[in-house]
């Protein structure tokens, strides 16, 4: 059996979920994989993590899909792409694939930010898939979002200092209504989707339980990267056609390697 056989509960987005994404900037608790595949994903996370050079922070390693066929194939899971297609349309490409983990005893804080602040992409239309490898909630530092904030435009980011922060810039809470904060709690094997302009962040893990997710960044083919800022950017067409040809096309990997190049702006965290 393929390790990426989706759950029988996996489905397309409902009309209500598509409307929610437009109005609130996210949807969550979308079923993707059952327990047997989740177990495989957890095992592979540990294997890939230990392939990295000693001392490497896996949170800062991007573009696994460019180096590793297993990661590429996971990103190409049809049931995942179905949901993204419901938001972006049929012509879309993958450009990012990154693990985000919080381990017991490691306290980190991701301050409020908008992903689009760090990405040299025009227009701003990226959808991020956040696939949970372990259960995640407030106790172990789940992502929190400010519902509807993607419709308020880009917000001012100020410099923050402190070893507990994994970002060097943050949006102050005075810039939004804290009543709009929603926790993206997920069961292992579920995913969420969020807009690249949505304000979000996460607190430290306090429960002693792992929080691990894999993000996949997908954009419609009309989105163009500024190659002067990100010269090694590549687009991997996942569905449809690329009639724009704005971006260099990536070559599908064949081996089990780990990435050696990262996004040049190191503050790409979720």
Q: In order of start, what are the domains of the chain with their CATH numbers?
A: 19-238 (2.60.120.620)
d(C-alpha 60, C-alpha 55), whole Å: 11
Dihedral pair phi/psi, residue 216, rounded to 5° = -130, 130
pLDDT digits (tens, 9 = 90+) for 226-264: 999 999 999 999 999 999 999 999 999 999 999 975 554
Instruction: Say if CB 87 and CB 192 are below 8 A apart.
Output: no
d(C-alpha 32, C-alpha 166), whole Å: 29
Predicted structure pTM score:
0.94
And the tokens for 251?
A: 């070559």
pLDDT at 206: 84
Q: Mean pLDDT in the chain?
A: 91
pLDDT digits (tens, 9 = 90+) for 134-171: 999 999 999 999 999 999 999 999 877 665 556 668 89
d(C-alpha 186, C-alpha 1), whole Å: 25
Query: Residue 200 — pLDDT band, cuts 50, 70, 90?
Result: very high
pLDDT at 141: 92
Phi-psi map region of 189: left, alpha, beta (phi>0 left; psi -120 to 50 alpha) = left
């Amino acid at each position: 059996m393929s390790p990426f056989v989706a759950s029988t509960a996996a489905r397309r987005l409902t009309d209500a979920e598509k409307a929610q994404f437009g109005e609130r900037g996210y949807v969550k608790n979308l079923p993707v994989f059952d327990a047997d595949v989740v177990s495989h994903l957890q095992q592979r996370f540990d294997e890939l993590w230990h392939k990295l050079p000693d001392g490497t922070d896996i949170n800062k390693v991007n573009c696994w899909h460019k180096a590793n066929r297993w990661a590429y194939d996971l990103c190409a899971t049809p049931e995942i792409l179905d949901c993204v297609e419901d938001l972006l349309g049929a012509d879309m490409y993958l450009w990012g694939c990154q693990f985000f983990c919080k381990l017991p005893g490691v306290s980190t804080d991701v301050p409020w930010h908008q992903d689009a602040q760090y990405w040299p992409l025009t227009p701003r239309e990226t959808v991020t898939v956040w696939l949970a490898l372990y259960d995640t909630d407030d106790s172990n530092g789940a992502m929190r979002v400010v519902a509807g904030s993607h419709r308020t435009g880009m917000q001012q980011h100020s410099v923050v200092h402190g070893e507990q922060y994994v970002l060097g810039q943050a949006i102050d809470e005075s810039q939004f209504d804290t009543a709009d904060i929603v926790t993206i709690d997920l069961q292992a094997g579920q995913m969420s989707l969020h807009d690249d302009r949505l304000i979000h962040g996460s607190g430290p893990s306090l429960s002693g339980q792992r929080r691990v997710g894999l993000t996949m960044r997908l954009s419609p083919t009309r989105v163009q990267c500024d190659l002067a800022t990100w010269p090694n950017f590549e687009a991997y067409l996942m569905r449809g056609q690329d009639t724009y040809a704005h971006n260099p096309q990536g070559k599908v990997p064949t081996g089990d390697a780990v990435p050696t190049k990262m996004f040049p702006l190191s503050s790409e965290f979720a």
